[in-house]
């Protein structure tokens, strides 16, 4: 029974691959002037692909929940003793399953995009479908021929080899699905852009159509990155959340270009500027999501995350990536001459100039992350040398760039289009600037000497105040117009100006994240101590005492747990229990850090091992680290607000007369 079900999963995937080629062929024929019926056929094929892949993905999850070890992928990544949550999340825990997750997302998002935009974009639709279908074909071919999650294993083992213990954590269970949603979300804007370029119709149409898609993908990507950082913070035990690991960098690259895109699209919407630039950014962002997926999944990077290492797939992946780059940038170069921006930047103190600066700096940052990540690979290919580009390099280069971005973020929203008098500009930002400088002076007075740290404090203080002032001004204006109280004015401002207020709230969230990063990155207190039972140590304002060490066990692991009491002013305020675990099936040890959060910071304990009857512990006080997670929630709120803006969907007059099914041609 199970065997036939699994066989059916493989069959559904293979059938979906055939249908992608069919859909692409029909869509191209329709786009080149063929019968509209072909476009309908292509659309139906896309819907069928979504259904087939949903079925296939469901079957794979079912194989995991029922521990069907006749499937090689399940046997390699699951175990009878694995808790049910991780049995489900193990589905995307390694190469094959995560590719299927990617393909399934793409199929579902494609179907949604085709359904949503079917009537509004009849002329672009053939090319949108063709692009999405071809991308899907590239992924499905890889899945069917080289990374089949449904491949059988004979003889069937009695038990599975277990999921990588590092991935047996709720944080990581949700990191890949959210991150991939962000990656795949950029495929839809890419398809619209390709359609616009092929039709040589690069005006507002594609930009207005994809604004929400870009915002949605950006929000998911941001959340995925933050989840990854949260997981690293909890599970890896070195007291931080961002290590400039190549795999982290892989997700940051499309984030940087996607952020640039989201902003420069506004310039095209409002002023018809940056047309070529927007197409370049959307193509680059999509290509970087592919690069990110493949860098991680091909195992070309040796890092904590690269749990699938198979150089045999490398050739295919490189080929696919190469084709995508050629097609994307080729189309851009082919159309470049026809795409001229019409409006010019009229003043240096204008929204346009700010957006240009934002784009230039975010793109510089993206180039640095891409180059820094790929450079060691390039050096290794060219020469026999092996070198590393790690945290010290990236911190040195990226922190100043990001400070400039935060500076622009603070000013941008309140600088009007087309320019403003410099007197007004100075008056507007005088108070926030004084506040930022005051904060830096205060920090200097408290003993901070590092120039970059002081600059960071000044910039973040300035940005927080300027953004809050901006929100305040909007509310005050509404209050004046409506002649109502403050509470009502807040309601009106947030209810009617959702897009603008949403943007400001996102900015505020980013400022909170920046503040959390400065606090935890630059003011961390750390101790490395050897504690015998009964002995204490001091960290921050707490006294930590080792009370004992016990044995402990879980469903599929055994471990040792230290009991550490935390007291403040002679009163015990908490017990903390950092653990070391050993997962027998994989023969791997992991550590479970103990973390106690309060608004001012986190107390963080990591036990490295036992020695002479005591423990060797790393204890950290991470100031403001919770603000990073809090800031993410604020970002999410702002993005939700902006997405909730009412849609005024254009309705082509022709479509109503020509009928619903067949697009008007």
Partner 1 sequence: MSRAARLALLAALLATPLPAPAQVVSEAPEEARVRELARTLRCPVCQSESILESRAGTAQEMMVLLREMVAAGQGDTEIAEFFRTRYGDFVMLAPPREGAGRIIWALPLILVLLGAGVFAAGLRRRGPARTPADTVTGKPLDAARLREMEP
Residue placing its CB nearer to partner 1 in the complex, 527 or 540? 527
Per-residue DSSP letters for 367-424?
HHHHHHHHHHHHHHHHSS------HHHHHHHHHHHHHHHHHHHHHGGGSPTT---HHH
The answer to the question of residue 427 lying near partner 1 (CB under 8 A) is no
* Alpha helix segments (H runs only) across 201-241: 204-231
Kindly report the three-state secondary structure assignment for every residue of 612-631. Answer: CCEEEEEEEEEECCHHHHHH
Task: Quote the Cα angle for 522-523-524, to 5°.
Answer: 100
How does strand 601-611 pair with strand 614-623?
Answer: antiparallel
* Residue of the chain from 397, 444, 469, 491 that contacts partner 1 (CB under 8 A): 397
* Residue of the chain from 323, 377, 391, 426 that contacts partner 1 (CB under 8 A): 391
Residue placing its CB nearer to partner 1 in the complex, 401 or 444? 401
- The least distance separating partner 1 from the CB of residue 259, rounded to whole angstroms, comes to 16
d(CA 472, CA 12): 55
Per-residue DSSP letters for 301-325?
S-STT-----GGGHHHHHHHHHHHH
* CB neighbours of residue 495 within 10 Å: 12
Stretch that binds partner 1, among 12-20, 70-78, 127-135, 562-570 (CB under 8 A): 562-570
Residues touching partner 1: how many (CB under 8 A)? Answer: 92
* CB neighbours of residue 422 within 10 Å: 11
d(CA 98, CA 176): 8
Strand partners, 620: 526, 604
Residue placing its CB nearer to partner 1 in the complex, 159 or 346? 346
3 state SS of 585: coil
- The least distance separating partner 1 from the CB of residue 302, rounded to whole angstroms, comes to 5
Stretch that binds partner 1, among 40-48, 476-484, 528-536, 633-641 (CB under 8 A): 528-536
- The least distance separating partner 1 from the CB of residue 374, rounded to whole angstroms, comes to 10
Residues 351-370 that bind partner 1 (CB under 8 A): 353, 356-357, 360-361, 363-364, 367-368
d(CA 130, CA 23): 7
The answer to the question of residue 386 lying near partner 1 (CB under 8 A) is yes
* CB neighbours of residue 255 within 10 Å: 23
* Alpha helix segments (H runs only) across 232-350: 246-271, 275-298, 314-335
- The least distance separating partner 1 from the CB of residue 141, rounded to whole angstroms, comes to 29
Cβ contact 256:365 at 8 Å: yes
Stretch that binds partner 1, among 54-62, 154-162, 168-176, 385-393 (CB under 8 A): 385-393
The answer to the question of residue 246 lying near partner 1 (CB under 8 A) is yes
* Residue of the chain from 323, 441, 526, 644 that contacts partner 1 (CB under 8 A): 526
Binning the chain into helix, strand and coil, the percentages to the nearest 5 are 65, 10, 25
Residue placing its CB nearer to partner 1 in the complex, 237 or 328? 237
The answer to the question of residue 558 lying near partner 1 (CB under 8 A) is no
Residues 200-239 that bind partner 1 (CB under 8 A): 200-205, 208-209, 236-238
The answer to the question of residue 342 lying near partner 1 (CB under 8 A) is yes
| Nearest residue to 180 via CA among 72, 100, 123 | 100
The answer to the question of residue 448 lying near partner 1 (CB under 8 A) is no
Residue placing its CB nearer to partner 1 in the complex, 4 or 383? 383
Cβ contact 618:526 at 8 Å: yes
Residue placing its CB nearer to partner 1 in the complex, 366 or 440? 366
Residue placing its CB nearer to partner 1 in the complex, 117 or 479? 117
Residues 123-182 that bind partner 1 (CB under 8 A): 123
Strand partners, 549: 562
| Nearest residue to 520 via CA among 230, 272, 309 | 230
- The least distance separating partner 1 from the CB of residue 362, rounded to whole angstroms, comes to 10
Name 143's Cβ contacts closer than 8 Å, sequence gap at least 6: 13, 17, 96, 99, 100, 103, 149
Residues 565-624 that bind partner 1 (CB under 8 A): 565, 567, 570-572, 574-575, 589, 591, 608-609
* Residue of the chain from 345, 399, 433, 658 that contacts partner 1 (CB under 8 A): 345
Residue placing its CB nearer to partner 1 in the complex, 160 or 559? 559
Stretch that binds partner 1, among 20-28, 66-74, 184-192, 390-398 (CB under 8 A): 390-398
3 state SS of 574: strand
Cβ contact 169:590 at 8 Å: no
How does strand 525-531 pair with strand 536-539?
Answer: unpaired
The answer to the question of residue 21 lying near partner 1 (CB under 8 A) is no
The answer to the question of residue 508 lying near partner 1 (CB under 8 A) is no
- The least distance separating partner 1 from the CB of residue 459, rounded to whole angstroms, comes to 18
Cβ contact 578:544 at 8 Å: no
- The least distance separating partner 1 from the CB of residue 534, rounded to whole angstroms, comes to 4
Residues 97-116 that bind partner 1 (CB under 8 A): none
* Residue of the chain from 15, 178, 389, 517 that contacts partner 1 (CB under 8 A): 389
The answer to the question of residue 281 lying near partner 1 (CB under 8 A) is no
The answer to the question of residue 481 lying near partner 1 (CB under 8 A) is no
Stretch that binds partner 1, among 5-13, 137-145, 242-250, 626-634 (CB under 8 A): 242-250
| Nearest residue to 117 via CA among 12, 37, 196 | 196
| Nearest residue to 200 via CA among 276, 91, 311 | 276
- The least distance separating partner 1 from the CB of residue 294, rounded to whole angstroms, comes to 17
The answer to the question of residue 377 lying near partner 1 (CB under 8 A) is no
The answer to the question of residue 343 lying near partner 1 (CB under 8 A) is yes
- The least distance separating partner 1 from the CB of residue 393, rounded to whole angstroms, comes to 5
């Amino acid at each position: 029974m199970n065997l036939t079900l699994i066989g059916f999963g493989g069959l559904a995937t293979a059938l979906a691959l055939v249908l992608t080629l069919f859909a692409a062929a029909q869509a191209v024929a329709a786009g080149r002037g063929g019968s509209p019926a072909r476009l309908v056929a292509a659309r139906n094929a896309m819907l069928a692909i979504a259904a087939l892949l949903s079925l296939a993905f469901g079957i794979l999850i079912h194989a995991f929940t029922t521990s069907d070890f006749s499937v090689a992928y399940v046997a390699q990544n699951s175990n009878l003793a694995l808790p049910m949550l991780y049995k489900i999340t193990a589905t995307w825990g390694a190469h094959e399953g995560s590719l299927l997750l990617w393909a399934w997302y793409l199929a579902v998002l494609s179907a949604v995009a085709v359904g949503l935009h079917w009537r509004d974009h009849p002329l672009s639709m053939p090319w949108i479908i063709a692009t999405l279908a071809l991308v899907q074909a590239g992924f499905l071919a890889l899945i069917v021929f080289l990374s089949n999650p449904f491949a059988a294993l004979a003889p069937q083992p009695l038990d599975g080899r277990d999921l990588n213990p590092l991935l047996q954590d709720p944080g990581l269970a949700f990191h890949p699905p959210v991150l991939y949603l962000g990656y795949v979300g950029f495929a839809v804007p890419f398809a619209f852009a390709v359609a616009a370029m092929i039709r040589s119709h690069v005006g507002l149409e594609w930009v207005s159509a994809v604004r929400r898609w870009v915002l949605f993908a950006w929000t998911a990507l941001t959340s995925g990155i933050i989840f990854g950082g949260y997981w690293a913070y909890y599970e890896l035990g070195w007291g931080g959340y961002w290590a400039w690991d190549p795999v982290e960098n892989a997700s940051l690259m499309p984030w940087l270009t996607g952020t640039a895109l989201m902003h420069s699209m506004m310039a095209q919407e409002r002023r018809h500027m940056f047309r070529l630039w927007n197409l370049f950014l959307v193509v680059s962002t999509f290509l970087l999501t592919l690069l990110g997926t493949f860098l991680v999944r091909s195992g070309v990077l040796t890092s904590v995350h690269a749990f699938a290492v198979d150089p045999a797939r490398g050739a295919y992946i490189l080929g696919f990536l190469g084709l995508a780059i050629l097609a994307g940038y080729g189309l851009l170069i082919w159309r470049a001459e026809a795409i001229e921006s019409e409006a010019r930047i009229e003043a240096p103190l204008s929204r346009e100039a700010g957006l240009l600066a934002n784009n230039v700096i975010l793109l510089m940052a993206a180039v640095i992350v891409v180059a820094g990540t790929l450079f060691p690979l390039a050096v290794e290919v060219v020469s026999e040398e092996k070198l590393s580009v790690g945290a010290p390099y990236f911190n040195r280069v990226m922190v100043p760039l990001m400070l400039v971005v935060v500076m622009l973020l603070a000013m941008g929203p309140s600088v009007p289009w087309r320019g403003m008098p410099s007197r007004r500009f100075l008056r507007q930002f005088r108070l926030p600037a004084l506040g930022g400088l005051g904060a830096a002076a205060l920090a200097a007075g408290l003993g901070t000497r590092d120039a970059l740290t002081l600059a960071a404090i000044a910039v973040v203080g300035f940005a927080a105040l300027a953004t809050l002032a901006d929100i305040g001004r909007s509310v005050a204006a509404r209050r004046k117009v409506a002649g109502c109280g403050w509470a009502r004015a807040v309601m009106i401002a947030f209810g009617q100006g959702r897009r603008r207020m949403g943007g400001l709230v996102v900015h505020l969230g980013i400022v909170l994240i920046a503040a959390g990063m400065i606090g935890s990155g630059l003011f961390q207190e750390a101790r490395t101590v050897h504690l015998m039972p009964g002995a204490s140590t001091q960290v921050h304002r707490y006294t930590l005492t080792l009370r004992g060490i016990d044995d402990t066990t879980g469903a599929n692991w055994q471990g040792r747990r230290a009991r550490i009491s935390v007291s403040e002013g002679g009163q015990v305020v908490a017990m903390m229990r950092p653990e070391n675990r050993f997962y027998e099936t994989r023969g791997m040890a992991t550590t479970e850090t103990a973390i106690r959060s309060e608004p001012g910071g986190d107390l963080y304990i990591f036990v490295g091992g036992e020695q002479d009857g005591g423990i060797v512990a790393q204890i950290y006080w991470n100031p403001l680290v919770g603000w990073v997670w809090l800031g993410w929630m604020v970002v999410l709120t702002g993005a939700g607000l902006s997405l909730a803006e009412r849609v005024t969907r254009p309705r082509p007059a022709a479509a109503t007369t020509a009928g619903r099914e067949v697009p008007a041609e």
